[in-house]
Structure 1
Amino acid sequence: MPVITTNTSANSALRYLNMNAAEQTNSLNRIASGSKINRASDDASGLAVATKLQTNVSTLNQAATNASHATSILQTADGGLSQISDILQRMKTLTAQSISGAVTNTERAYINAEYDQLVKEIDSIVASTTFNGDQLLKGTGAGYSGSFLVGTNAGTSGSTANSDIIDIKITSGTTLGDGTFNAVAGLDLETTLYKSGATTNKEDIDAAQLAATAIDKAISAVAGARADVGAQMSRFQFQAAQIASSTENLDAAQSAITDADVAKEQSNFSSAQVKTNAAIAALSQANQMPQQLLQLLR
């Protein structure tokens, strides 16, 4: 029914114009931001899930850093133990050299001098093998220990151990082999390998044999410590690979929820743009209808 007081056609065209303009704006926002969730009202439940996934990804990124730090600590400790092992092998060679009837007391004094310096070098390596100020091969009790978060669960698990936290433990260089290392480092070289004033070489050879036995125990202890460090290092390396895989999968899941399909949004934008133009044209025509009706009164 043609009327001039209420322009129903214009109201309807205006409503569709607002709807189409809003749709066009939403598509343009998604294209510009690359995300299909720009407001909580776009997808409330998707936003909640995506936020949790993003939190997990951020935590895993730090967990990867933690695993890298743990690996670096273990590598540093292994480097120190490797040097100690090499020194102990040289010390064993020196004791073998001393156990020879062709070596005189004067020459054993030279052997002792090198042996003594090697003991001091082991002490130096034990004291200087550090990471971020923490001594790795020297300390009270069992030596260095630390805990590293390598997952997303940083809380406690009651009576069950938290599998996302890995503890590392490095045997102290001062207690290797239940004291066998101390036995080597504590040898008094001037009276053990070489006894000044001895009438025969028998005491010197016996002492060298005792030193060789102590060194063998120390070498075995260092080898055991390196094996333990290597086992822990291997675990962190596999854990780092698992973290990388989990991060990739979580990123993909988050992308499926939040990332905009640019091709789809461009298509929606073009469609909304056409409908907006059509609504503008329809509104223009609707606004002219009352003026056209007035022509009937003339």
Structure 2
Amino acid sequence: MKLHNQTMIAFSVTRYQKNDRTMEKTIDKLSTGLAIRRASDNAAGLAVSETIRAQVRGLSQAQRNMQDGLSVLQAANEGLNNVNGLLQRGRELAVMSANETMTAEDRKASQAELDELLKAIDDTAQKLEFNTKKILGENAPLILMVGANPGQKLTVDLVDTSTSALNLTQASVLTSESAEQLIQTLDEAIIKTTGNLTKIGSYYEAIEHHMANTMVKETNLTSSLSKLVDTDMAKEMMNYISQDIRQNSDQLIVSRINQSAGDALKLFNS
């Protein structure tokens, strides 16, 4: 049996339990670093934070999309440079074969080398791929998602560098006349390939510009999200200390009252 002040103990116990629940939330915030972990923490804040979080993650993925696009353009650039080099060598053969000092056998040897050059051009066009998608073998557009929302896209027009696209399927240096005509055809192919290289460079620059803007947006949104959901560690630490003092005080009050009641019982037993 205990003799105690029911009102004071009931008040202290109630305050202790309330404070215990508050301390649990504070410890949760301190341990996770998050001010909002569940809807009950801040229902409106949670809705806003999840919307911002979706934007941040979308922008992050858009940057990866654009990085893939840059990789495609880098591969296309290398492929076009290779084709350009092959065309330049083909032009040398055409100029050489247009010379009347060449014999028929000489021109046959030049034609054999030219045929291999043309095969190499088609090989580049057909086999240069990124994630199984042809890069230089067709004129299909490459559409990149460069933002977090619908409609934020960039279209990159891929180019066809096959011999048929460059009008080189009938290329011949077997006569001086055909070799001379081929010089003009190769000049046009070189101009077209150089133009494609310029176009690829322009797309590369545009994607880099979009990436820079996306990184700025992501940084700003991440900062806003942090301010909304991250715990103010200094403030929560002060709350924890304050709650700990109150909790210890309530424990002391209940303990002292029970001790006083025990002392009173001893007097009755004397």
The normalised TM-score by structure 2 is 0.88
- The residue aligned with 1:157 is none
Deviations, residues 156-214 of structure 1 (Å, cap 9, x unaligned): xxxxxx2x1112211222488xx5x12x2322x3xxx22xxxxxxxxx33222210000
* Deviation of 1:94 (Å): 1.1
- The residue aligned with 2:247 is 276
Matched to 1:45, the amino acid is A
Matched to 1:263, the amino acid is A
Structure 1 residue runs of 4 or more that deviate by more than 6 Å after TM superposition:
288-298
In 2, the alpha carbon distance for the partners of 1:112 and 1:38 equals 73
Further displaced range: 288-297 or 167-176: 288-297
The 5-angstrom pairing of residues 254-293 of structure 1 reads: 254-286=225-257
Matched to 2:146, the amino acid is V
- The residue aligned with 2:178 is 207
- The residue aligned with 1:61 is 60
> Given the superposition, is the C-alpha separation of residues 287 and 38 from structure 1 closer, same or farther in structure 2, using an over 3 Å criterion?
farther
Matched to 2:157, the amino acid is K
Local SS of the residue matching 1:41: coil
- The residue aligned with 2:48 is 49
- Matched residues, number: 267
2:140 to 131, 140, 144: 144
* Deviation of 1:144 (Å): 2.5
Q: Report whether the alignment pairs 1:242 with 2:213.
A: yes
- The residue aligned with 1:185 is 169
Matched to 1:262, the amino acid is M
In 2, the alpha carbon distance for the partners of 1:19 and 1:287 equals 21
Gaps of 5+ in 1: 155-161, 195-203
* Deviation of 1:69 (Å): 1.4
Contact map agreement 2:19 2:247 (CA 8 A) in 1: yes
Matched to 1:150, the amino acid is V
- The residue aligned with 1:201 is none
- The residue aligned with 2:125 is 126
Matched to 2:212, the amino acid is A
> Given the superposition, is the C-alpha separation of residues 109 and 24 from structure 1 closer, same or farther in structure 2, using an over 3 Å criterion?
same
> Given the superposition, is the C-alpha separation of residues 292 and 9 from structure 1 closer, same or farther in structure 2, using an over 3 Å criterion?
farther
Local SS of the residue matching 1:102: coil
Contact map agreement 1:7 1:290 (CA 8 A) in 2: no
Local SS of the residue matching 2:86: helix
Q: Report whether the alignment pairs 1:153 with 2:149.
A: yes
RMSD of aligned alpha carbons: 2.6
Contact map agreement 1:7 1:286 (CA 8 A) in 2: no
- The residue aligned with 2:160 is 172
* Deviation of 1:291 (Å): 7.5
* Deviation of 1:288 (Å): 6.4
* Deviation of 1:271 (Å): 1.4
* Deviation of 1:295 (Å): 10
2:192 to 201, 221, 241: 221
The 5-angstrom pairing of residues 69-88 of structure 1 reads: 69-88=68-87
Contact map agreement 2:35 2:41 (CA 8 A) in 1: yes
* Deviation of 1:42 (Å): 1.6
Local SS of the residue matching 1:40: coil
Gaps of 5+ in 2: none
Further displaced range: 10-19 or 110-119: 10-19
Further displaced range: 101-110 or 219-228: 101-110
